[in-house]
Protein backbone atom coordinates (compact mmCIF):
# COMPACT_ATOMS: atom_id res chain seq x y z
CA UNK A 1 0.00 0.00 0.00
CA UNK A 2 1.39 3.37 -1.01
CA UNK A 3 0.57 6.45 1.13
CA UNK A 4 0.69 9.79 -0.60
CA UNK A 5 1.45 12.77 1.64
CA UNK A 6 1.81 16.40 0.71
CA UNK A 7 1.02 17.67 -2.73
CA UNK A 8 -1.71 20.01 -3.85
CA UNK A 9 -5.00 19.97 -1.89
CA UNK A 10 -8.02 22.20 -2.44
CA UNK A 11 -8.15 24.91 0.25
CA UNK A 12 -4.64 24.19 1.58
CA UNK A 13 -1.90 26.78 1.99
CA UNK A 14 -1.85 30.40 3.07
CA UNK A 15 -4.45 31.74 0.60
CA UNK A 16 -6.65 33.08 3.39
CA UNK A 17 -3.76 35.08 4.83
CA UNK A 18 -2.67 36.68 1.55
CA UNK A 19 -5.91 36.61 -0.51
CA UNK A 20 -4.10 34.82 -3.36
CA UNK A 21 -2.51 31.43 -4.05
CA UNK A 22 0.87 30.75 -2.43
CA UNK A 23 3.90 28.81 -3.63
CA UNK A 24 6.48 26.75 -1.77
CA UNK A 25 9.96 28.28 -1.88
CA UNK A 26 13.19 27.08 -0.32
CA UNK A 27 15.23 29.77 1.43
CA UNK A 28 18.38 29.68 3.57
CA UNK A 29 17.56 29.01 7.23
CA UNK A 30 19.45 32.13 8.28
CA UNK A 31 17.01 34.31 6.26
CA UNK A 32 13.66 32.77 7.39
CA UNK A 33 12.96 35.35 10.12
CA UNK A 34 13.88 38.24 7.82
CA UNK A 35 11.56 36.96 5.09
CA UNK A 36 8.69 36.36 7.53
CA UNK A 37 9.09 39.92 8.86
CA UNK A 38 9.13 41.30 5.32
CA UNK A 39 5.91 39.44 4.45
CA UNK A 40 4.22 40.57 7.67
CA UNK A 41 5.13 44.21 7.03
CA UNK A 42 4.30 44.20 3.33
CA UNK A 43 0.89 42.56 3.65
CA UNK A 44 -1.80 44.99 2.55
CA UNK A 45 -3.77 46.14 5.59
CA UNK A 46 -7.54 46.38 5.58
CA UNK A 47 -7.39 49.30 7.96
CA UNK A 48 -4.76 51.99 7.62
CA UNK A 49 -5.80 54.26 10.48
CA UNK A 50 -2.97 53.67 12.96
CA UNK A 51 0.65 54.48 12.09
CA UNK A 52 2.19 53.71 15.49
CA UNK A 53 1.41 53.09 19.16
CA UNK A 54 3.72 54.34 21.90
CA UNK A 55 3.48 53.80 25.65
CA UNK A 56 3.41 57.08 27.55
CA UNK A 57 6.45 57.68 29.73
CA UNK A 58 5.69 60.81 31.75
CA UNK A 59 9.07 60.89 33.46
CA UNK A 60 9.76 64.42 32.27
CA UNK A 61 7.96 67.18 34.09
CA UNK A 62 7.66 70.52 32.34
CA UNK A 63 5.67 73.25 34.02
CA UNK A 64 4.03 75.53 31.48
CA UNK A 65 2.74 78.95 32.56
CA UNK A 66 -1.06 79.04 32.79
CA UNK A 67 -2.74 82.40 32.28
CA UNK A 68 -5.25 83.14 35.00
CA UNK A 69 -7.87 84.48 32.56
CA UNK A 70 -9.60 82.74 29.69
CA UNK A 71 -8.87 84.05 26.20
CA UNK A 72 -11.81 85.54 24.34
CA UNK A 73 -12.30 84.37 20.78
CA UNK A 74 -13.94 87.68 19.85
CA UNK A 75 -12.60 91.04 20.99
CA UNK A 76 -9.25 91.12 22.80
CA UNK A 77 -9.22 91.76 26.52
CA UNK A 78 -6.49 93.66 28.40
CA UNK A 79 -3.42 91.45 28.81
CA UNK A 80 -2.22 90.53 32.27
CA UNK A 81 1.44 90.86 33.11
CA UNK A 82 1.54 87.90 35.45
CA UNK A 83 0.88 84.19 35.54
CA UNK A 84 -1.00 82.78 38.49
CA UNK A 85 0.16 79.15 38.31
CA UNK A 86 1.75 76.51 36.08
CA UNK A 87 0.32 73.42 34.42
CA UNK A 88 2.03 70.05 34.05
CA UNK A 89 0.83 68.58 30.72
CA UNK A 90 1.33 65.03 32.03
CA UNK A 91 -1.14 65.76 34.83
CA UNK A 92 -3.48 67.44 32.38
CA UNK A 93 -3.53 64.71 29.69
CA UNK A 94 -2.81 61.47 31.59
CA UNK A 95 -5.17 60.05 34.19
CA UNK A 96 -3.76 56.51 34.31
CA UNK A 97 -0.07 56.34 33.38
CA UNK A 98 0.15 52.54 33.09
CA UNK A 99 -2.81 52.38 30.68
CA UNK A 100 -2.12 55.44 28.51
CA UNK A 101 -0.66 55.28 25.01
CA UNK A 102 -0.03 57.73 22.19
CA UNK A 103 -1.42 56.52 18.85
CA UNK A 104 -0.30 58.24 15.65
CA UNK A 105 -3.02 58.54 12.98
CA UNK A 106 -2.36 57.34 9.43
CA UNK A 107 -5.63 58.04 7.58
CA UNK A 108 -8.41 60.59 7.12
CA UNK A 109 -11.22 58.26 8.20
CA UNK A 110 -11.95 60.50 11.23
CA UNK A 111 -11.38 63.85 9.46
CA UNK A 112 -14.84 65.26 10.29
CA UNK A 113 -14.17 64.63 13.99
CA UNK A 114 -11.10 66.87 13.73
CA UNK A 115 -8.58 64.01 13.50
CA UNK A 116 -6.07 64.25 10.64
CA UNK A 117 -3.07 62.27 9.41
CA UNK A 118 -0.09 62.53 11.81
CA UNK A 119 -2.28 63.73 14.71
CA UNK A 120 -1.43 62.00 17.96
CA UNK A 121 -4.24 60.51 20.03
CA UNK A 122 -4.00 60.07 23.78
CA UNK A 123 -5.63 56.68 24.37
CA UNK A 124 -6.58 55.38 27.83
CA UNK A 125 -7.08 51.61 27.97
CA UNK A 126 -8.55 51.72 31.50
CA UNK A 127 -11.71 53.60 30.45
CA UNK A 128 -14.82 51.63 29.53
CA UNK A 129 -15.99 52.62 26.05
CA UNK A 130 -19.45 54.16 25.79
CA UNK A 131 -21.80 55.08 22.94
CA UNK A 132 -20.24 57.68 20.60
CA UNK A 133 -16.75 57.50 22.16
CA UNK A 134 -13.89 57.60 19.69
CA UNK A 135 -12.04 54.34 20.18
CA UNK A 136 -9.04 52.38 18.95
CA UNK A 137 -10.26 48.91 18.00
CA UNK A 138 -8.35 45.71 17.21
CA UNK A 139 -10.16 43.87 14.38
CA UNK A 140 -8.75 40.66 12.92
CA UNK A 141 -5.15 41.55 13.88
CA UNK A 142 -5.28 45.18 12.73
CA UNK A 143 -5.97 48.51 14.46
CA UNK A 144 -8.52 51.11 13.43
CA UNK A 145 -9.78 54.39 14.93
CA UNK A 146 -13.52 55.03 14.70
CA UNK A 147 -16.55 56.28 16.66
CA UNK A 148 -18.26 53.50 18.62
CA UNK A 149 -22.02 53.28 18.04
CA UNK A 150 -23.99 51.11 20.47
CA UNK A 151 -27.58 50.25 19.56
CA UNK A 152 -29.44 48.14 22.07
CA UNK A 153 -27.89 45.58 24.37
CA UNK A 154 -25.79 43.62 21.87
CA UNK A 155 -25.52 45.56 18.61
CA UNK A 156 -22.57 47.85 18.04
CA UNK A 157 -20.63 49.07 15.02
CA UNK A 158 -17.91 51.59 14.14
CA UNK A 159 -18.68 54.86 12.39
CA UNK A 160 -16.16 56.57 10.15
CA UNK A 161 -16.24 60.36 10.39
CA UNK A 162 -15.54 60.85 6.69
CA UNK A 163 -18.03 59.85 3.95
CA UNK A 164 -15.17 58.54 1.78
CA UNK A 165 -14.53 55.72 4.30
CA UNK A 166 -16.93 52.87 5.09
CA UNK A 167 -18.47 52.23 8.48
CA UNK A 168 -17.53 48.87 10.00
CA UNK A 169 -20.27 46.40 10.90
CA UNK A 170 -18.98 43.29 12.62
CA UNK A 171 -19.44 39.79 11.23
CA UNK A 172 -19.97 36.55 13.16
CA UNK A 173 -16.67 35.01 14.20
CA UNK A 174 -14.71 38.23 13.72
CA UNK A 175 -12.12 38.97 16.41
CA UNK A 176 -12.94 42.44 17.77
CA UNK A 177 -11.48 44.15 20.86
CA UNK A 178 -12.07 47.76 21.91
CA UNK A 179 -8.43 48.47 22.71
CA UNK A 180 -8.81 51.93 24.27
CA UNK A 181 -10.76 55.18 24.40
CA UNK A 182 -9.38 58.36 22.83
CA UNK A 183 -9.29 61.10 25.47
CA UNK A 184 -7.35 63.87 23.67
CA UNK A 185 -6.16 64.76 20.18
CA UNK A 186 -2.73 66.39 20.00
CA UNK A 187 -2.30 68.28 16.75
CA UNK A 188 -0.13 71.01 15.36
CA UNK A 189 -1.97 74.03 14.00
CA UNK A 190 1.22 75.31 12.36
CA UNK A 191 1.99 73.87 8.94
CA UNK A 192 5.17 71.84 8.82
CA UNK A 193 7.74 72.56 6.14
The stretches of 74-164 forming alpha helices (DSSP H) are: 89-93
φ, ψ dihedrals at 133, nearest 5°: -70, 150
Catalytic status, residue 95: no
Write out the DSSP string of 119-155: -EEEEETTSPP-TT-EEEEEETTEEEEEEEEEETTTE
Any catalytic annotation for residue 109?
yes
Indicate which residue of 70, 109, 171, 191 is catalytic: 109
Pairing of strands 120-124, 155-159: unpaired
Backbone angles phi, psi at 186, to 5 degrees: -105, 115
End-to-end CA distance of the chain, in Å?
Answer: 73
Cα 20 from Cα 31, distance rounded (Å):
23
Q: Which residues pair with 192 in a beta bridge?
A: none
Q: Which of 146, 187, 190, 191 is catalytic?
A: 146
Do 126 and 179 contact (CB within 8 A), yes or no? no
List 158's β-bridge partners, or say none: 148, 168
Annotated catalytic residues are 109, 146
Amino acid sequence: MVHQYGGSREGAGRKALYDEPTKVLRVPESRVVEIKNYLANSKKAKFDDVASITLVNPSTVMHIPLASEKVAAGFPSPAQDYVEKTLDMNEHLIKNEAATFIVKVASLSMRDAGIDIDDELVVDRSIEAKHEDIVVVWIDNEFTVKRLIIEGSNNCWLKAENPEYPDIHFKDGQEVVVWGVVTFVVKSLKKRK
